[in-house]
Amino acid sequence: MTDGADDAGVLESKRNATRYQILVEIAERQPAVSQQEIADAIGITAQAVSDYLQGLVERGHVEKHGRGRYEVTKEGVDWLITRTDGLREYVDHVAEDVIGQVEIDTAIATAPIAEGDTVSLSMRDGVQRATPGAGGSATAVAVTDADAEQDVGVTNWEGVLDYELGTVTVVSIPRVENGGSAAAAPDRIAARAADADLVAVAGAEALAAATAADVDPDVRFGTAAAAQEAAARGQDVLVVAVTTALSAHTDRLREHDISYEVVDAAEE
């Protein structure tokens, strides 16, 4: 038995959308299938599930093997695959052709910009900048108005943003029971901080060591994500971290291909 909705895609027919969901739930639970569990999972009544199951059995998409025992047939699997392929194509279309075209990023305007202007993109001080005109290696189109130093929305990028990734230096501070900040050489931390664009500390021992070196950290609660993100935006980062926080930072930096070195802050 068929009806006019059978040939429609899952998104074109509410009946087909419900059939699709029920078939998926049966496939996950078979052969012991609770109609109430399916009803709860997809948000319809148990009686509605029963009615749909009867229709799916009549269509040959499901076989019934006794009370509460159902199995998706080969025909049912084929129907699921066909509708899944259709869903996948639709999702790809939305992601690539719709969202991809209207995705908006944010930059800081270096001068007044009007909606519709072509702008050149650059990276400075870890922040994406938008400058009126198309003279840069990467360009985009403004979707909002902005005065200088205001945020501006941009889309339709072309080219490659030309800048170098930053590096991360991680200064290791021992736990307090192993000497803590007293075991670190303040002048070594100060020298590293002078060459960094951003200084972060992770752990009380690290904060004490930075204070002893007369270094005022930019980030008091230095996270691995913050250091990685800053380096990815061209910043050279100094992370003063207690030894127990080292692996969290180095693992994330390796994962995102960020260059780093680990330095022992103790006196040599």
pLDDT at 160: 86
Mean pLDDT of 58-73: 90
| Stretch 172-191: mean pLDDT | 92
Interval 101-123 mean pLDDT: 91
Q: Which CATH architecture has domain 168-264?
A: 3-Layer(aba) Sandwich (3.40)
Domain ranges of the chain: 10-100, 105-159, 168-264
- Provide the pLDDT for residue 1: 42
**Do 10-100 and 168-264 agree at the fold level?**
no
In this structure, is the dihedral angle defined by the CA atoms of residues 35, 41, 47 and 53, taken in order, positive or negative?
Answer: negative
Q: Do residues 243 and 184 lie in contact, with contact meaning Cβ atoms separated by under 8 Å?
A: no
Model confidence at 14, in pLDDT bands (50, 70, 90)? confident
Whether 267 has a pLDDT exceeding 60, the answer reads: no
Euclidean distance between CA atoms 226 and 207, whole angstroms: 17
pLDDT at 266: 74
**Helices (DSSP H) in 178-223: which residue ranges?**
186-194, 204-212
CATH architecture of 10-100: Orthogonal Bundle (1.10)
pLDDT value, residue 2: 47
Q: For 151-181, how does the pLDDT look when each residue is reduced to its tens digit (9 = 90+)?
A: 999 988 888 888 889 999 999 999 999 999 9
Predicted local distance difference test score (pLDDT) of residue 88: 84
Q: Tell me, what's the pLDDT at 5? A: 55
Q: CB under 8 Å to 34, separation ≥6 — which residues? A: 68
Q: Who wins on pLDDT, 29 or 130? A: 130
- % of the chain beyond a pLDDT of 70: 92
Lowest mean pLDDT among 2-11, 15-24, 71-80, 234-243: 2-11
| Dihedrals phi, psi of 153, to nearest 5 degrees | -85, 140
